[in-house]
Structure 1
Amino acid sequence: MRAVYKVIGIISIWMAGVLSQIWAQPVELTIRYYDKRVYFAGQKPVFIQVTLTNRGASTYRFKLADDRAFSIDFDVRTLNNRPVEATEVLIRKRSTSQRIYFRELSLEPGESFSFTEDLTDYSAITSAGSYVVQAVFYPELLQREAPTRSPSPGGASPNVGTITGAPNTPASASGMGLRSNTLALSIRPAPLPEQGKVAALIDVETNEILQREPLSPDKVIEYMLTARQKGQWEKFFLYLDLEALLLRDPVKKRMWLAESEEGRLRMLDKFRSDLKSAVVDGDIVTIPMEFQVEKTTYGPEQGTVTVLEKFRVGRYIERKRYIYSVEKKDNIWMVVDYAVINLGTE
């Protein structure tokens, strides 16, 4: 009898080991935000980094489509567990019969493979609110029919093939997939553009919307220059009247007058990008190594702030005097113009 119990015990231990191997998931799928920031309704992108990690003891092999939409899907739901619809582009792509090129990859134990996708390419998140995001990865690709292996055109390497079929079924109906952890996604209402401002400016350190304060003209300039020294572009732009600075150029002013409201917003957006790239108005975006406010004069609506700024150029230090013109708009002093006087080197 003892021998029988011993045999049963051995079998039980063996079965437990086998079942643990079957139930254990050797591959882990994780997602995280690639560049976490504040997200607004209707704005793109929302980058998600997807990582596959082999936690098992043997080599893990899988297929990866060149078009990631046939390898990965995102399940986005509201807090009421209502799924968010897929984008129209994604639906058309998956409902069209086509060849899907893929690579066969392998992960050794402990290895990981990552790629980044824009969530807005998959889910039509058009409303502000709170959402839960989960990724589903399909090692054998997302498809309706069994894959048909065929040589790739153009003499591609043997580990690249094509699949024919019409993969247009939802993720839950397309076979077994690996599910990831979940992410909380908060979408804020889209801010209304203000005059001279294309969109809300976000503090990259706190992810909060920057608010203009009723600072004095000299404090406005100090705030702007300090932000430039620290490379904080959003704070640098906070007190700049981009429209006024743009209209200093007579050619751009004529273009502005001929544009619609939408066209003017595009001009402001391009002007802001050009400033960051120092394509235009290079003097105002040059980083000073140090600065000192020399004189501040202002009345009820207008004023000037004179600042001595120093810049390192090779082995020399250039000295320049900046005269910033400011105007009060809605009780906020804004920079509307500037002039530069070169004072030589030291």
Structure 2
Amino acid sequence: MFDKLDDLLLRYEDIMNELNEPNVVSDQERFRKLMKEQSDLQPIVDAYKEYKKCKETVEESLMMLEEESDEEMREMLKEELNDAKARIEELEHTLKILLLPKDPNDDKNVIVEIRAGAGGDEAALFAAEIYRMYVHYAESRRWKVELMEADEIGIGGMKSVTFMINGQGAYSVMKYESGVHRVQRVPETESGGRIHTSTITVAVMPEAEEVDVQIDEKDIRIDVMRASGNGGQCVNTTDSAVRLTHYPTGIVVYSQTEKSQLQNKAKAFALLRAKLYDIECQKAHDAEAEARRSQIGTGDRSEKIRTYNFPQGRVTDHRIGLTLYKLDKIMNGDIQEIIDACIAADQAAKLAKMNEE
């Protein structure tokens, strides 16, 4: 581990020297890549420099303890020594986590697709509430949310909704939301007061660049049509809605949220790219079955990951055994505690796997 850290420290110093060269500053692409690498290395370098400083403190304190006879000074040195040793342990753990292999998609924006499952109208209502939960969460992180597609029902529910979240590191956080979300409550439409269980599925896909996925135009059929919906400008008046059919996979995507056909076409292609890229990522996960099993629910879409129990005001994440009694806050977007717990569990599983190797 320390050989690797020494190499990274040297690489960091090389980058800092390169960034000061005039020919690098004038080459925007090179400059951007170096800045990104420097930003990725910064937390590792800072932790390693502090680690080395603590090591020096330990050595100095031990040497001074051998020579010091004054009892008060010895107590101060012992305290300093113990503090430095404790900090070294913390930094060793931090450095192990920082050196874990990084998901190449972690820095990407995400496309989230929510679909109502079992439970009819109640599932559609819950899908709309979970969509609002993610919008509130994204806003709290100062991320931008862009609606891509929505299939609404008259009573305020959504059979499906697809949206993009633009924000630094959005995928690294949102990927833990993929899976089946279950709700237990008495529906407003239920006169007998019985608790119903409904489900929705959440799919979180990294946004794919054109370089990530090559789409052959011969493999696609593009249909334009009039947008349908609950009225509003351009609805049913212009052929602005766009539907793409990808023949090799059978994937169909539809976009009608924008007024212009050009904008809807761009959104539809972004969604298709994300879906095709997601298929490739799933194949890679399947090829590394063991690695996928060690992760905390970032792969299997059919996995029931969370239950929202309204009568008891509780939310349970089944992957990590976490139960929180603050349902109202969570439904209002306060999901950071759950995500942090998932990240910590994921890191612990990866560290344990690394130690086995």
Q: Same fold (TM over 0.5)?
A: no
Shorter chain as denominator, the TM-score bin is: under 0.3
TM-score scaled by structure 1? 0.20
TM-score scaled by structure 2? 0.20
Which protein is richer in strand relative to its size? 1
Structure ID, larger Rg? 1
